[in-house]
Amino acid sequence: MTYLEKYMEEHPGLSDEEYRRKVALNCPHHPNGWVLSCPRHLPGYSGASLADQCRMCWNQEIPEAKPANNKANERKENAMNKTFTKADLKVGYVVKYRNGNLRMVMPYAGGLVLTTINGGMLDIDTALNDDLTYRSFIQWTHKGLDVMEVYGLNKHGSDACSISTNGRELLWKREEPPKKTCDDCIHKVVCSHVGMCEHFAEKK
């Protein structure tokens, strides 16, 4: 469909003279502007009269509209699919533990640590596995320290050292399969006696 065909479709009932007058006084690229404001420089414009130039614009095919790109959803989807390791952590990033606490990646002479405002810290190299889970020999110990989300640098310099997710882009989020209930757990008897299995704790 051309610009002229679209205009005629949107303004039915106009006479040929009214269409000609509209085309002569307006530009399809600037419907509310004067034709001389048209910035288009199409092949064949050189040497053409003003009326011919307008006619060329109005008879152009309208480009197909591109689908709206929801960048926020796209970034979120990429964060879900990306693989994140210890090597991807950078100074100034903020992480969220499984227990909901936030920590910032900071440097020290021996490498990187996850730290809080009050000085608590966790050495990334020794305390975390490469997949950012907490390094523990007992399954249910310190599960709350698994890194579940990673946020990039703050967009606002004044908040660069703020340990919060405000102004930060989500770079990665851990995706896990649904947890089994205690009824499905093969350690059901152990759960009920020891009381330390996460399945038992959730059921209680």
Give the pLDDT confidence of 81-105 residue by residue, as tens digits: 678 899 999 999 999 999 999 999 9
User: 């970034």: which residue's tokens?
Assistant: 75
79 SS3 class:
helix
For residue 30, the model assigns a pLDDT of 60
Residue 2: which pLDDT band, with cuts at 50, 70 and 90?
confident
Q: For residues 151-180, give the mean pLDDT.
A: 88
CA 70, 74, 77, 79 dihedral sign is negative
Q: Which residues pair with 111 in a beta bridge?
A: 108
- In the chain, the amino acid numbered 94 is V
For residue 202, the model assigns a pLDDT of 47
Largest CA distance in the chain: 93
For residue 104, the model assigns a pLDDT of 95
* Distance of alpha carbon 110 from alpha carbon 57, whole angstroms: 66
Nearest of 55, 62, 51 to residue 10 by alpha carbon: 62
Tokens matching residue 15: 């006479």
pTM (predicted TM-score): 0.52
Q: Is 111 left (phi over 0), alpha (psi -120 to 50) or beta?
A: left
Range from 57-71, 77-91, 155-169 carrying the lowest mean pLDDT: 57-71
Confirm if 189 and 131 have CB atoms less than 8 A apart: no
Classify strands 102-108 and 94-97 as parallel, antiparallel or unpaired: antiparallel
Confirm if 142 and 121 have CB atoms less than 8 A apart: no
